Amino acid sequence: MALVAFQFSNAQESSSIISSKKNEVKFDVLSAIAFGKYHISYERFLNTDFSVGISGGIQDSQNQKDDFYNGFERSLPKYEVNPFVRYALSKSPKNFYFVEAFLSVNGGKYREIARFEDESGNGYYNAKEENYTDLAIGGAFGYKLYIQEKFGLELLVGAGKNLFNTDKSPEVIPHVGLNFGYRF
């Protein structure tokens, strides 16, 4: 009986330690390795169910640049800023599933082949490059696990849809990551 009481009090003590830490900073390891995208996040825990935060990323993948400049892709995403709100579906503060709603201000370069005319009226085709900026709205589903009440491991899968400049921006914004974080 004493062992059960000790385990119960130890579990509650561990949960209260995590709950007392309201801030977390995260780095997306998956995007850095797989996509050449550097993405950091800050999350503020409002209570046991809700949190809000902001994440930002820049992309600098040589493969994506090559695809863009060789004509295989029409857009080259460069940056995004994502404010988000999360709701925990599980009640354990040490590991839980969550849903997320987010906005994404994103931008980059757009390239298309356009027809031009010279001074004598002869037509020719050349690549025309422009910058784009758009706003996406989206959702995601994820799982978070804490190790030693301060190190977080988070898997996130979702997507958003750009709303305003879709003739130049990508129609769908992927929102996938494997984040490693520190909660304080």
Position 157 confidence tier, pLDDT thresholds 50, 70, 90: very high
7, pLDDT greater than 90: no
Average pLDDT over residues 145-169: 92
pLDDT of residue 15: 59
Look at residues 118, 143, 136 and name the one whose alpha carbon lies nearest to residue 79: 136
pLDDT of residue 10: 45
pLDDT, position 2: 47
Lowest-pLDDT range of 72-81, 134-143, 151-160: 72-81
Mean pLDDT, rounded, for 100-106: 96
Give 11-39 pLDDT, tens digit per residue. 444 557 888 889 999 999 988 888 788 99
> In this predicted structure, what is the pLDDT of residue 1?
52
Q: State the average pLDDT for the chain.
A: 86
Q: Which residue has the higher pLDDT, 162 or 8?
A: 162
Q: Residue 107's pLDDT is what? A: 93
Q: Which residue's structure tokens are 């129609």?
A: 171
Q: Give the count of beta carbons closer than 10 Å to the beta carbon of residue 59.
A: 19
> Quick one: pLDDT band at residue 93, thresholds 50, 70, 90?
confident
Distances (CA, A) of 16 to 21, 59, 91: 9, 38, 13
pLDDT at residue 97, rounded to an integer? 96
For residues 39 and 27, what is the distance between their CA atoms, to the nearest angstrom? 6
The average pLDDT across 2-8 equals: 43
Query: CB-based burial of residue 171 (10 Å sphere; 0-12 exposed, 13-18 middle, 19+ buried)?
Result: exposed
pLDDT single digits (tens) 34-85? 878 899 999 999 998 999 999 999 988 777 778 787 777 888 889 999 999 9
What pLDDT score was predicted for residue 81? Answer: 96
